[in-house]
Structure 1
């Protein structure tokens, strides 16, 4: 499933309908369960600012459903889905002024059946007007300090033809409600529940746990964590190796733009399914997985283009440690440092082995909340260069995504960093990225990605790499 922004999703003329969750005031009750570390840190980072400088403020999805929209079955399907995922019925608010140490947090939760969904249907509109309205709707209704921090919308053909081929569903939520894996589950679950309401055929969805319970367990497990813990030690060593700084993109990005300038974005097909399978086979021959091979190509590109023998980045890792979390909605993500020594490594197998060893070495660091590690180290920690890999081939109904025109969506970002997301689906491997809107970054990031793509193709074809010619050595330390 391609990961993109709303601006790149095709939107025709039609009729837009907003689907808005509501709860009676007396349905809320105080919930003593603590908030997860990442959720609380997210709230504190965004406190006092309606539009904070926080990357990925919301995540979402868009997909098509066959047939004409039937309002009542769709409304009931959304209510069933909200009942299924407890975080959609819960709100966390900060006490005090939101600053660290100024107070705690308070949670309120509503029981299943308490949320009703109302809808507001608009007049037929042109594509540009619909896109503008949607962008504002998704931004306004995913604010992390209010409930609901999520919203639904549908778009139907404007002629109202009963034989219409399909309608489009949009969903967006604040990142504290859903991570990237959560949103790839949405299309299947809502489509299945809608069909259940229309036909009576059971949706067949597996039971899921509550991210609220996950957060409470995470707090309990980390209660006695101290500075000598393995995860803290790994992060301390990573920061020391970087001179106290988080990893940065290996090529110059140029000076930060004055004012709030949206980042540029890119999306490119890295490998088709056949090449992806052959690339995976090369990784297995080297004794490691697909992500290790991808990191090997990134490290090789760094040697060639930046003239340095170390590739450093931050990599997300899921924390869905049990079957009850497999389909749960929430922010199940840990972060780990990655530091690959590419010195003397001229072949794919050697670099892949080094990348695989590094992923094993830092595995424990992703199991401890990133923000807690920052507290223990007393260092502000925020990713500047992140590389993600997610394999979604086996998500229910993944093969239907092209037919459904399904995409994952992300909000605009205004930060001065580089994030790269490699997503493997039944169609192959797609890379989505965002980077600063500067002439320097616009020249360096796409060319870096293109070289990585070429290296992945070479590996998939079984071609060996020659001894690299170092690029502009030291350039990565300039122009920021």
Structure 2
């Protein structure tokens, strides 16, 4: 994942495009910030997690060279006061966070108001996945609160080794061949998509023109509808995620007429409690194939669940490794799409929800740069279901994101109402 991210950054830079690359979060905290205490806990965080102890060089031969800091105690982030900023000045300041070929491609900051302050973190995706938001809250703000109350820092359980995770993945894929079952499944999946990964079903405009990135958010189901949808999934013998993927497949059928849906979804590869206390990019991608029955949510959902479950082990094999073994396949193009599902009622995201319910205002932010692909995330949060689509910020893609979410909402509502037989193909000319 890290190597693909670095290559993506360099490729976008060579095309004159600004690569979307950061994970950003913020939290409101009452009172005035004790800068000394906050500096202590941020440095403790950076020294604790091994991913921050590496940086990478992309040389002229297009090889990635990894460098490491031998002694984490050599890391010393210091506070710098910038004074009053306008909103645009703050935005420019955040976007100036160094790129992933610099060691310090992360920033932490404070915005102080009269009675509260906002703590924000900007970390290049190179070093983390979105679980950073949960871990950062628990580690930084809980320790900061303890110090402010005159207590000793919280004794956290040891973090796992992100290095060990990377080595395990490397050892696993290095032994793969064209005869490995996981590789054969990936090749079959890519072959069904013209020798690459699946595309978004609607037009996205000319992505060679720099336009930045946009985000479209839409609520799909309210609390009562969410509860009804879960019951329908259980009655069909599938999990909530399987029912959701079925609705995604039905949405694509309605928009394009495709009778088979080829999906990709990221999953968290953390296994142990220590892994969940560790900052890093613990992500794998699962491909799955869904034959669509346009008149039966249940049949489509069972097919989606069965394919997803059968292909879980493919998350251990990055597609980049498959490309090395099968050079006739291609890297995905700018229409490439992926669908993520995040249930905030499950740990560790449930910790964020619990804190929000206790009055902590937390936010996940986007950097507005050019997205590498069309990325959709369905959130189950506060007993509601919403979707966020990240797209290239041009009029064609913006309208396609709107159409896509509207169609998906319509499919979900018809499933809940028991009227899925109303699904019809509506392909735009």
Show the 5 A alignment for 1:71-220: 71-94=35-58, 96-97=59-60, 99=62, 103=63, 105-125=65-85, 129=86, 131-157=87-113, 161=114, 164=115, 166-199=116-149, 200=151, 203=154, 205-220=156-171
Q: CA RMSD in A?
A: 2.5
SS of the counterpart of 2:133?
Answer: helix
1:453 aligns with 2:402: no
User: Which stretch shifts more, 436-445 or 241-250?
Assistant: 436-445
Match of 1:410 among 351, 357, 366: 366
Q: 1:182 to 1:227 in 2, by over 3 A?
A: farther
Q: 1:134 to 1:232 in 2, by over 3 A?
A: farther
Task: Indicate conservation of the 8 Å contact 1:247/1:385, yes or no.
Answer: yes
1:356 aligns with 2:312: no
Task: Indicate conservation of the 8 Å contact 2:268/2:284, yes or no.
Answer: yes
Match of 2:231 among 265, 277, 281: 281
Task: Indicate conservation of the 8 Å contact 2:196/2:330, yes or no.
Answer: no
CA distance in 2, matches of 1:301, 1:202: 50
CA distance in 2, matches of 1:220, 1:117: 34
Residues 364-385 of structure 1 show CA distances to partners (whole Å, capped at 9, x for unaligned) of 2211123212222223423711
TM-score normalized by structure 2?
A: 0.89
In the TM superposition, what is the alpha-carbon distance from 1:201 to its structure 2 partner? 5.7
Residues 99-154 of structure 1 show CA distances to partners (whole Å, capped at 9, x for unaligned) of 1xxx45232124343322211112223xxx2x333333333324101111111011
CA distance in 2, matches of 1:48, 1:465: 43
Q: 1:115 to 1:274 in 2, by over 3 A?
A: farther
Task: Indicate conservation of the 8 Å contact 2:28/2:117, yes or no.
Answer: yes
CA distance in 2, matches of 1:283, 1:82: 42
Q: 1:205 to 1:450 in 2, by over 3 A?
A: farther
Q: 1:54 to 1:282 in 2, by over 3 A?
A: farther
Task: Indicate conservation of the 8 Å contact 1:348/1:464, yes or no.
Answer: no
In the TM superposition, what is the alpha-carbon distance from 1:431 to its structure 2 partner? 1.5
Paired residue total: 420
Q: 1:426 to 1:350 in 2, by over 3 A?
A: same
1:294 aligns with 2:249: no
SS of the counterpart of 2:7?
Answer: helix
Task: Indicate conservation of the 8 Å contact 2:26/2:120, yes or no.
Answer: yes
CA distance in 2, matches of 1:427, 1:405: 18
Residues 69-113 of structure 1 show CA distances to partners (whole Å, capped at 9, x for unaligned) of 11111111111212221212322334x3151xxx45232124343
**1:434 — aligned with what?**
390
SS of the counterpart of 2:73?
Answer: coil
SS of the counterpart of 1:189?
Answer: helix
Residues 394-441 of structure 1 show CA distances to partners (whole Å, capped at 9, x for unaligned) of 322422236322112232232574211112233532321122334333
Task: Indicate conservation of the 8 Å contact 2:135/2:278, yes or no.
Answer: no
Contiguous gaps of at least 5 residues in structure 2:
none
In the TM superposition, what is the alpha-carbon distance from 1:450 to its structure 2 partner? 1.7
**1:389 — aligned with what?**
341
CA distance in 2, matches of 1:466, 1:347: 7
Residues 249-294 of structure 1 show CA distances to partners (whole Å, capped at 9, x for unaligned) of 12233x3155211133111222344433332232222222222111
**1:468 — aligned with what?**
423
CA distance in 2, matches of 1:406, 1:75: 20
Residues 150-186 of structure 1 show CA distances to partners (whole Å, capped at 9, x for unaligned) of 11011011xxx4xx1x210110111110112223332
TM-score normalized by structure 1?
A: 0.80
CA distance in 2, matches of 1:55, 1:314: 21
Q: 1:458 to 1:204 in 2, by over 3 A?
A: farther
Q: 1:446 to 1:104 in 2, by over 3 A?
A: closer
**1:331 — aligned with what?**
281
In the TM superposition, what is the alpha-carbon distance from 1:467 to its structure 2 partner? 4.8
Higher helix share: 2
SS of the counterpart of 1:183?
Answer: helix
**1:12 — aligned with what?**
none
SS of the counterpart of 2:60?
Answer: coil
CA distance in 1, matches of 2:12, 2:217: 30
Residues 347-375 of structure 1 show CA distances to partners (whole Å, capped at 9, x for unaligned) of 22111111101202322221112321222
Task: Indicate conservation of the 8 Å contact 1:61/1:186, yes or no.
Answer: no
**1:43 — aligned with what?**
6
Contiguous gaps of at least 5 residues in structure 1:
1-37
